[in-house]
Structure 1
Amino acid sequence: MLDLGASFLASVSRDPHALAVVDGDIRLTYAQWYRKISALVAGFDRLGLKAGDHVLTLMMNRWENASLHWACQFAGLIVTPLNWRAKSDEVEYALQDADAKAVFFEEITSEAVASAPSAAGLPAISAADLQAMMEADAPDVRPRANADDWSLMLYTSGTTSRPKGVPRRHRAERAGAVAHVAQNLYRHGERTLGVMPLYHTMGVRSLIASSLIGGTFVCLPRFNAARAIELIESESITNLYLVPTLYHDVIHDPAFSPERVKTVTKLGFAGASMTDGLLKRLDAAFRPELFVNHYGSSEIYTFTIEQDAVSKPGSAGRAGINQIIRVVKLGANSPDELAEIGEEGEIIAALIGDEAFEGYWKRPDADAKALRDGWYFTGDTGFYDQEGDLFVTGRVDDMIITGGENVSPVEVESCLSLHDQVAEVAVVGLPDERWGKIVTAFVKRKGEVSAEELDDHCRRSGLANFRRPRRIVFVDEIPKSPVGKILRRKLVAGEYSPEGAIASQEN
């Protein structure tokens, strides 16, 4: 298999004059971008960086960051991106954990970098420095890595413990991108909105997949719904690959209209479950040719794909072209303890897949917990239906056990999301002396609706009585991670702003 540097060279050879990257006034063809990337690699050499070195990056989705990613692939450097919102202690942890040899930043991240002790003495390169480096003349760079070398190391979110490094090889990265092109039916010359961050699997996959098809990567450094709509219209964006939260914000923005996004023919989402209500609203607004639910992780890019998300709401589909998936019984220690059809269990993925990682960075404790007998135990819960499609119901740790019954938050959220006065909803279990946990719904209202009306909606929807929320809390916002995942732990901990009083239905 090609390494990623050679893969980019193939794109330059195939489509030298195609528009490759757009960021404001910056518009570069593949041939022009290659020259900029070559200059960056020459700059790395002047800094004394060597193949196999980790370099830490804290940048938004600017063209400089996309260029940096590709230059690292050519140079054999291991790009190690952090959320640009990271605090100095998080920067310090990553610098030490990765033994980084340089750090790349921009103005908004400069303070966090400067406050990290381990950054002192390391080359610290700003976005302005990158721009200057790319203005220099340099010979065309040739790939210095091979397909078995490390390409990048992502950090997991670390919501319950310190972040875990997920190192990934060139071949796994390219396999994931090729599968992404195939499974999303991308055509030659697609135009992609590059808004998912390059410290996240979705952002990296969009960047690499775009190059494989001679496509255009249109940078949106920081998400803003009105700006996203403007770029979709002005740049004739053809595909979107976003987390559900961003889709929600786009279609609810006052600037949105179906006419302004008519060039988009394919929608894809990942990173979190999408409620039935949002699915229907998006389908009506965009009328896409393809609406893909992509289920995966940093460790193994693709678990499953559902290419017609609207026809079977909640379905994550079937294993991707590079993967084998099983559902085992909750608490299983062996990959052979299979759950029955319809039985909720833990989802596991084969580690022999082309997109799979090989273990966490310097974390044998995490490997021992997640990797068993050639399988990755995801920590996600789900079940197979009679037709062989996978339904993801949440996290093992999110499962609500109330009165001895298991309740999946996702099912309750989907039910409530179908009420036309519900903007967003998140469901958790809160401690209760009698029931152990009670199903509690946190609701951001779109209009006037009472807790009693929402309870009646749940009754009429056919939601089983034990799954009905016994408590409804109206909030101003649902707490989320920077990439739109609901932070249930914050709701459980009481870290939210209530809109009004708690209303309960105890019958």
Structure 2
Amino acid sequence: MFDLGTSFLASVERDPDRLAIVDGEVRLSYRDWYGKVSALAAALDETGLKRGDHVLTAMQNRWENASLHWACQFLGLIVTPLNWRAKTDEIDFGIADAGARAVFYEVATEEAVRLSRLARDLPQFSADALAGIMDSSARDAVPLADAADWSLMLYTSGTTSKPKGVPRRHRAERAGALAHVAQNLYRHGERTLGVMPLYHTMGVRSLIASALIGGTFVCLPRFEVAKALDLIEREKITNLYLVPTLYHDLVHHEAFSPERVASVRKLGYAGASMTDGLLKRLDQTFEPELFVNHYGSSEIYTFTIEQKAAGKPGSAGRAGINQMIRVVKLGGRNPDEGAAVGEEGEIIALMKSDEAFEGYWNRPDADAKALHRGWYFTGDTGFVDQDGDLFVTGRADDMIITGGENVSPVEVESCLSLHEGVAEVAVVGLPDERWGKIVVAFVKRRGTVTAEDLDHHCRASGLANFRRPRRFVFVEAIPKSPVGKLLRRLLVAGEYTEERIPEHQ
């Protein structure tokens, strides 16, 4: 299999004059971008960085960051990206945990890097410095890595413990990108909005997949709806691959119209479940040729694919082309103890996948918890229906046990999302002396909908009585991570702001 440097070089030779990357005024063909990447690779090589070294990055989705990613693939350096909002302690953790040999940053992370105790002893490069380096010329970069070398180490979100490093080889990264192309039916020359961050598996996959098909990667450094709509319209974006939150913000923005996004023919989402209400609205608004629900993780890029997401709301489909999955008994560790059809269990994925990682970075405790007999135990819950399609019901830790009954927050959220007075909703279990936990819905409302209205909606929809929320809390905003994942733990901890009711109401 090709390493990623060779993969990029093959695209340069195949499509030298095709537009490769756009970032504001920067517009580079594959030939020109290769020249920039070569100059950067030569400069990094001169600093003493060598094959197998980790380099820590904390930058937004700008062309300098994308170029750095490719330069590292040529040199065999291991890109170790952090959230560009990272604080000093997170910078120090990343450097120490990965043993990083250099740090790359931009204005947004300049202070955190400056205050980092461990960064001060390492070579540091700002985004502006990278741009200056790439203004020079150098001999064409030659791939020094092979497919078995490490390419990337992502960090999991670490919501309940310290983040875990997920090292991935060139071959796994390329396999994931090829599967992404195939499963999303990408054509030669697709134009994608590069907004999912390059510290997230979705962002990295978009970058690599775009290069493999001679596509155009249109950078949006940070998500702003107005700018996203402008880019989609001006650059004639053909596919979107986003988390549900960003889709929600797009279609509810005052500047949105179907005409402005008419070039988009393929929608894909991942990272979280999508409510039935949003799914329906996107399908009606975009009228896409393809609407893909991609279920996966940083550890193993693809678990399952549903290519007709709007046709079967909630379905995550079936195993991807590089994967085998099973649903096993909750609490068990035997991959052969499968749950029955319709029975909720834990979703597991075969580690033989071409896209799979091989274990966490220096975390035998995490390996012992997640890896069993050649299978990765995801910690996600779900069930397989009579058709053989997977439905993901949430995280095992999110399951609400009320009066001895299991309630999936996702099911309740999907029900409530269909009410026109609900803009966003999140459901959690809160302690209750009698029931153990009760189902509580936190709602960002549209208009003047009341708790009584929503309770009536749940009853009329056929939601089982024990699944109905016992409380509705109207909030100013639903807490989310930087990539739009719902942060239920903050709601459980009381870290939210209740809606302010105007005095005239």
TM-score (norm 1): 0.98
Separation of aligned partners in 1, 2:438 and 2:121: 53
Instruction: Give secondary structure in 1 for the equivalent of 2:134.
Output: helix
Distance 1:500 1:309 in 2: 36
Give the structure 1 partner of residue 135 of structure 2: 135
| Structure 2 residue 196 is matched with structure 1 residue 222 | no
Q: Could you say which residue in structure 2 is the equivalent of 1:98?
A: 98
Distance, in Å, in 2 between the alignment partners of 1:451 and 1:292 is 33
Deviation at 1:136, TM superposition (A): 1.2
Q: In the alignment, which residue of structure 1 is the partner of 2:464?
A: 464
8 Å contact 1:164–1:361 — kept in the other structure? Answer: yes
CA distance in structure 1 between the aligned counterparts of 2:117 and 2:337, rounded to whole angstroms: 48
**CA displacement, residues 273-296 of structure 1 (integer Å, 9 cap, x when unaligned):** 000000011111100000000000
Following superposition of structure 1 onto structure 2, how do residues 25-424 of structure 1 map, counting pairs within 5 Å?
Answer: 25-424=25-424
What's the CA shift string for 1:394-414, capped at 9, x where partnerless?
000000000000000000000
Separation (CA, whole Å) in 2 of partners of 1:217 and 1:90: 29
Aligned to 1:505: none
Q: Is the 8 A contact 1:473 1:500 kept in 2?
A: no
Q: Is the 8 A contact 1:81 1:153 kept in 2?
A: yes
For structure 1, the residue ranges without an aligned partner over 5 or more in a row are: 502-507
How far, CA to CA, are the matches of 1:103 and 1:144 in structure 2? Answer: 21
Q: CA deviation at 1:72?
A: 0.4
Distance in 2, Cα, partners of 1:157 & 1:43: 32
SS at match of 2:392: strand
Once superposed, what is the RMSD of the aligned Cα atoms? 0.6
Which digits, 9 at most, give the CA deviation of each residue in 1:178-216, with x for residues without a partner? 000000000000000000000000000000000111000
Which residue in the other structure is 1:444 paired with? 444
| CA shift for structure 1 position 444 | 0.2
After the TM superposition, which parts of structure 1 deviate over 6 Å for at least 4 consecutive aligned residues? Answer: none
State the 1:46 CA deviation.
Answer: 1.8
Contact 1:423 1:444 in 2 (8 A): yes
Letter paired with 1:62: R
Residue identity opposite 1:275 in structure 2: T
Seq. identity, %: 77
* Alpha-carbon distance between aligned partners in 1 of 2:333 and 2:274, rounded to the nearest angstrom: 30
Q: Shift of the alpha carbon at 1:497?
A: 0.3
Following the alignment from structure 2 to structure 1, what is the Cα–Cα distance between the partners of residues 450 and 115? 48
Distance 1:483 1:163 in 2: 16
Structure 1 SS opposite 2:443: strand
1:76-108: CA deviations, max 9, x gaps?
Answer: 000000000011101100000000000000011
Distance 1:417 1:186 in 2: 30
Query: Residue 350 of structure 1 contacts residue 376 of structure 1 at CA under 8 Å; is this kept in 2?
Result: yes
Residues of 1 paired with 2:192 and 2:113: CA distance?
Answer: 31
Distance 2:482 2:249 in 1: 14
Contact 2:210 2:216 in 1 (8 A): yes
Q: Is the 8 A contact 2:57 2:105 kept in 1?
A: yes
Could you tell me how far apart the structure 2 residues matched to 1:379 and 1:426 are?
20
Secondary structure class of the residue paired with 1:298: coil
d(CA) in 2 for partners of 1:98, 1:499: 42
Mapped to 2, the partners of 1:470 and 1:267 lie a distance apart of: 35
Give the total of aligned pairs.
Answer: 501
* Preserved CA contact (<8 Å) 2:476 2:500: no
Partner of 1:504: none
- Residues 305 and 319 of structure 2 are in contact (CA less than 8 Å); yes or no, is this contact kept in structure 1? yes
Supply the AA of the counterpart residue of 2:195. V
2:14 alignment partner in structure 1: 14
> Which secondary structure state, in structure 2, belongs to the residue aligned with residue 428 of structure 1?
strand
- Paired with 2:372 and 2:25, the residues of 1 have a C-alpha distance of 50
Q: Secondary structure at the match of 1:495?
A: coil
1:280 counterpart letter in structure 2: K
SS at match of 1:120: helix
Letter in 2 for 1:135: D
Q: Deviations over 1:426-452 (max 9, x none)?
A: 000000000000000000001110000
The residue type paired with residue 221 of structure 1 is P
Matched letter for residue 313 of structure 1: P
Please give the alpha-carbon distance, in whole angstroms, between the structure 1 residues aligned to 2:123 and 2:333. Answer: 45
Give SS of 1:217's match: strand
User: How far does residue 500 in structure 1 lie from its aligned partner after superposition?
Assistant: 5.6
CA distance in 2, matches of 1:464, 1:87: 44
- What letter corresponds to residue 98 of structure 2 in structure 1? A
What's the offset of the Cα at 1:159?
0.2
Deviations 1:19-71 (A, max 9, x none): 00000000000000000000001110121111100000000000000000000
What is the letter of the counterpart of residue 239 of structure 1?
N
Q: Please list every run of 5 or more consecutive structure 2 residues that lacks an aligned counterpart in the other structure.
A: none
Specify the SS of the correspondent of 1:240. Answer: strand
AA matched with 1:128? D
The one-letter amino acid of 2:371's match is L
Residue by residue over 1:235-290, the C-alpha shift from the partner in whole angstroms, topping out at 9 and shown as x without a partner, is: 00000000000000001111100000000000000000000000011111100000
What secondary structure is seen at the aligned counterpart in 2 of 1:117?
coil
Q: Deviations over 1:94-123 (max 9, x none)?
A: 000000000000011001111110001100
Summarize the Cα distance change of 1:24–1:500 in structure 2 as closer, same or farther, 3 Å threshold. closer
Kindly provide the amino acid, as one letter, of the partner of residue 464 in structure 1: A
Contact 1:412 1:468 in 2 (8 A): yes
Contact 2:61 2:219 in 1 (8 A): yes
